[in-house]
């Protein structure tokens, strides 16, 4: 499939499970939109299956999961596996929220590419995404 040059980055933001804390994901959504990205929010109370399906169907480049309830050690690895199984293994999977440092290696090994914990600067997140996108487009062009 031919990528159009300068296509806008498409980001799916989601809340998994029963965790309904939305302040962080609201701020990120506004910031990414302001940076020119397309942002889709799944709404609350999603299962890994629902998020994986939405990511494939919406053909997003990035899946960002906001988690503040301690369910992350189970539902994030499951989402990563579902994405791989459904042909979405090339999507960038990010997590943010309350994620203790000692859980991070487990999540990274399971396929979460990058974790932004509480207090992360939205400008750093935007910069990280822009850089990843530029590199991806460059490697696809090559």
Partner 1 sequence: MNRPVSEFAPANDNIIAETERWQAETRAPFVAAQPERRDPFVTQALKWPIKPLYTPADLDAVGFDYLKDVGFPGEYPYTRSTRPNGHRSGFWTMTQVTGFGKGEDWAKRARFMLDQGLSGLILEYDLATTNGYDSDDPMVEGEVGRAGMALDSLEDLENAFDLPFDKLKYLMSVCNAPQPVNLAMIIAALEKKGVDPKDFVLHIVNGILIEYTCVGRYIYPPEHGLRIATDAIEYIIRNHPNWAPLSIISAQLQPAKANPVQEIAFSLAICCAYIDATLERGLDIDTVAPYLNHFVVNVDMDFFEGICKLRAFRKCWARLMKERYGATRPEALKIRLMTSPTTIALTLQQPLNNIGRLAIMATACALGGAGENMTTPLHDEAHSLPAEEAIRVGAALQHIVAHETGVAETIDPLAGSYYVETLTKQMEDAAFAEMEKIFAMGGAVKAIETGYFQRALGREQYERNKDLEEGRRKWVGVNHLVLPEEKREIEIFRLNDEMEEQQVEKVRALRARRDQPAVDAALDKVREAARNGDNLVPVCLDAVKLYATHGELCNAMRDVFGVHTPDSQLAGV
Name the site residues for partner 1 (rule: CB under 8 A): 13, 17-23, 25-27, 29-31, 39, 41-45, 47, 69-75, 98, 100-102, 117-119, 121-123
Q: How far is the CB of 16 from partner 1 (least distance, A)?
A: 8
Q: How far is the CB of 19 from partner 1 (least distance, A)?
A: 6
- The residue among 73 and 108 lying less far from partner 1, judged by its C-beta, is 73
Which residues share a beta bridge with 125? none
Element (H, E) at 32: helix 23-34
Q: How far apart are CA 31 and CA 58, in angstroms?
A: 20
Q: How far is the CB of 118 from partner 1 (least distance, A)?
A: 5
Q: How far apart are CA 96 and CA 105, in angstroms?
A: 14
- The residue among 5 and 119 lying less far from partner 1, judged by its C-beta, is 119
* Three-class DSSP category at 28: helix
Q: How far apart are CA 82 and CA 99, in angstroms?
A: 21
- The residue among 106 and 140 lying less far from partner 1, judged by its C-beta, is 106
Report whether 16 contacts 58 (CB < 8 A).
no
Q: How far is the CB of 102 from partner 1 (least distance, A)?
A: 8
- The residue among 2 and 101 lying less far from partner 1, judged by its C-beta, is 101
């Amino acid at each position: 499939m031919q990528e159009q040059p300068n296509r806008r980055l498409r980001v799916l933001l989601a809340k998994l499970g029963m965790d309904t804390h939305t302040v962080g994901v609201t701020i990120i959504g506004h910031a990414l939109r302001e940076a020119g990205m397309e942002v889709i929010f799944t709404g609350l109370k999603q299962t890994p299956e629902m998020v994986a399906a939405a990511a494939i169907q919406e053909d997003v480049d990035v899946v960002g999961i906001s988690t503040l309830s301690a369910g992350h050690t189970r539902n994030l690895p499951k989402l990563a596996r579902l994405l791989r199984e459904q042909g979405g293994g090339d999507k960038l999977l990010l997590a943010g929220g309350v994620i203790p440092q000692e859980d991070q290696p487990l999540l990274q090994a399971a396929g979460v590419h990058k974790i932004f914990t509480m207090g992360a600067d939205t400008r750093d997140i935007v910069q990280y995404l822009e850089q990843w996108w530029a590199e991806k487009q460059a490697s696809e062009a090559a």
